Amino acid sequence: MADSYDTIVIGGGPGGYVAAIRAAQLGKKVAVVESDKAGGRCLNYACIPAKTLLRTAEIYTEAKDGSEIGIVAGDISIDWDALQTRRASVSESLSNGVKFLWDKNKIPVIEGVGSLTPEGNVKVGEEVYEAGAVILATGSVALPIPGVEFGGRVLDTWGAWSLPEMPKKIAVVGAGASGSEIASAYSRFGTEVVLIEMLDQILPAEDNDIAKIVERSFKKQGIEISTGAPVDNVEVGESSVKFTYGDKSAEVDYLCVAGGRTADIEGLGLKEAGVEMDESGRKIKVDGYQLTSNPKVYAIGDLVNKKALAHKASEEGVVAVEKAAGVETHPVDQELMVGATFTHPQVASVGLTEAAAKEAGHEVKVGKQKISGEGAGTVYDDKEGIVKLVIDAKYGEVLGAHIVGNRACDMIAELVATMALEGGYQELSRIVHPHPTVSETVLDAARAVDGWAIHA
């Protein structure tokens, strides 16, 4: 037996790296097993590369269309090589930041592929490390659509964000957060984009009112949207991909499949270690403290529960190691797992959609306010945005909050806090917000519930 540890974390993504740091803070002897790069897929292949390119798309569009606000730029164009170099260097610098934090917290990294032994210890190569507790944090991998394999001109999301050239035409299959972000960035770079969603709305998890606004905006920006029909008859050629969708067909430079991901559990030795899967059969079964059916094995992040989000992974990591260490903690509130989509405009939401609240039997009141109604909306050119609050009519509890707008992903934090602290719209409608900020829209949306939004 090699070294022994109080806690061994398998996977160094936003779930695993945070879990390891929290365990060290609690005085535990902890190690991370990582087969690739510090920071996991989020930092190196997913969230961060996506946001880095989206940032370029944002600045490019603002500069290109800036004459109205007094910026007249000459020949503006995208330098694809520079953009990809920055993408790589942002990820590298954040990954180094994670390594720095591990060093600072005296957390060794065991490089290699980790798996569980039947006793619940951790095997890497030929070495077995004894563990008081194991945190599984191996994340998820992309799934292709049936009959189509990734490779060549068929891309997963990482393939789309790391393309060596700017395509003339791209199709994105799956209009969830990841697919919509790819469509939003490429269309602003000047690529012709077709965004295809099998369900009947883009951003299927979002409130219908919100998805409609984004769909309208995407169409205005030139993105072709198809909903309610799958992609079929995919023919991958040397220099293009042909396919059909509904009663249409297309030929594109690249087909990006952003349809779904599956937990990365291959070779982890779950069955032998008595770690059971949940009722979906695709994720690991855990309780509210992330404990699996093996009493010393915890699982976090994309391996568990419904949503796949970096901040969810991190919070589950904190709770898992606190529980394993026997200190006071609390289960992660999955109902308050906030979603953030960095399209143009951005979309952010927490809690129930209006339809889901009604389906759950709530008597619902709604407060809506346009961001353009507030002074800041005009100053900052937030023309399409709204804040929508879904309220329980009986006590005024905020059941859900939904925002479209250029800063939606920052604005939503206030509503997560309100819901976590069990605040109602009554409190929200009396909380002073700074002027001129787009956050004032939240104040008016709360007032709109009783029909007294000032700027409506």
Ligand X SMILES: Cc1cc2nc3c(=O)[nH]c(=O)nc-3n(C[C@H](O)[C@H](O)[C@H](O)COP(=O)(O)OP(=O)(O)OC[C@H]3O[C@@H](n4cnc5c(N)ncnc54)[C@H](O)[C@@H]3O)c2cc1C
* Interaction between residue 299 and ligand X (CB under 6 A): no
Residues 6+ apart with CB under 8 A from 200: 227, 228
Residues between 39 and 98 with contacts to ligand X, criterion CB under 6 A:
40-42, 46-47, 50
The reply on whether position 33 binds ligand X by CB under 6 A is yes
Binding map of ligand X across residues 169-208, x = CB under 6 A, - = no contact: ---------x------------------------------
Q: In what order do the strands lie in the sheet with 231-236?
A: 231-236, 241-245, 248-252
What secondary structure does DSSP assign to 161-216, as a single string?
A: HT-SS--SEEEEE--SHHHHHHHHHHHHHT-EEEEEESSSSSSTTS-HHHHHHHHH
The 3-class secondary structure across 386-407, one letter per residue, is EEEEEEECCCCEEEEEEEEECC
Taking the least distance from each CB to ligand X, the nearer of 161 and 425 is 161
Q: Are 223 and 137 in contact (CB under 8 A)?
A: no
From 311, 344, 433, 435, active-site residue: 435
Q: Mapped to the 3 state alphabet, what secondary structure does 142-163 carry?
A: ECCCCCCCCECCEECHHHHHCC
The one among 107, 309, 347, 389 contacting ligand X by CB under 6 A:
309
User: Of 6, 9, 15, 227, which one interacts with ligand X (CB under 6 A)?
Assistant: 15
By C-beta, is 29 or 311 nearer to ligand X?
Answer: 311
DSSP 259: S
For residue 302, state whether it binds ligand X (rule: CB under 6 A).
yes
Residue closer to ligand X, measured from CB, 159 or 400: 159
DSSP symbols for 60-86: HHHHHTGGGGT---SS----HHHHHHH
Specify the DSSP element, H or E, that contains 265: none
Residues 6 or more apart from 269 whose CB is under 8 A from it?
A: 115, 116, 117, 118, 123
The residue count for the chain? 456
If the CB atoms of residues 136 and 448 are measured against ligand X, the closer one turns out to be 136
Site string for ligand X, 341-360 (x = CB under 6 A): -x------------------
Q: Residue 113 or 128: which CB sits closer to ligand X? A: 113
Residue 401's beta-bridge partner residues?
A: 350, 389
Give whichever of 314 and 369 is closer to ligand X, judged by the CB atom. 314
CB of residue 112 to ligand X, shortest distance in Å: 7
- Residues contacting ligand X: total by CB under 6 A: 36
Q: Measured between alpha carbons, how far is 206 from 343 in angstroms, rounded to an integer? A: 13
Q: How far apart are CA 119 and CA 18, in angstroms?
A: 25
Pick from 8, 23, 154, 310: which binds ligand X (CB under 6 A)? 310
Q: Which residue in 352, 320, 114 sits closest to 210, CA to CA?
A: 352
In the complex, minimum distance from the CB of residue 246 to ligand X, in angstroms, rounded to a whole number:
25
The residue within the footprint of ligand X, chosen from 9, 135, 137, 371 (CB under 6 A), is 137
User: Of 1-9, 168-176, 304-312, 348-356, which segment contacts ligand X by CB under 6 A?
Assistant: 304-312
Please say which residue, 95 or 369, places its beta carbon nearer to ligand X.
95
Q: Contacting ligand X (CB under 6 A), which of 113, 236, 336, 356?
A: 113
**Residue 343 DSSP symbol:** S
Tell me whether residue 344 is one of the annotated catalytic residues: no
Smallest separation (angstroms) from ligand X to the CB of 182: 7
Candidate list 171, 256, 313, 415; residue touching ligand X; CB under 6 A: 313
Is 284 an interacting residue with respect to ligand X (CB under 6 A)? Answer: no
What are the tokens at 126?
């030929």
Rounded-to-integer distance, Cα 16 and Cα 314, Å: 7
One-letter identity of residue 240: S
Residue 159 sits in the site that holds ligand X (CB under 6 A): no
Q: Which of 308, 357, 391, 404 binds ligand X (CB under 6 A)?
A: 308
* Cβ nearer to ligand X, comparing 157 with 441: 157
Binding letters toward ligand X, positions 241-280, x by CB under 6 A: -----------------------x---x------------
CA–CA gap between residue 336 and residue 350 (Å, rounded): 6
Tell me which stretch binds ligand X (CB under 6 A): 31-39, 59-67, 287-295, 386-394.
31-39
Q: Which stretch binds ligand X (CB under 6 A): 300-308, 360-368, 394-402, 447-455?
A: 300-308
List the helix and strand counts (H, then E) for the chain.
13, 22
Query: Minimum Å distance from CB 300 to ligand X?
Result: 6
Interface with ligand X (CB under 6 A): 10-16, 33-36, 40-42, 46-47, 50, 113-114, 137-140, 157, 178, 264, 268, 301-302, 308-311, 313, 340, 342
Residues designated as active site: 435
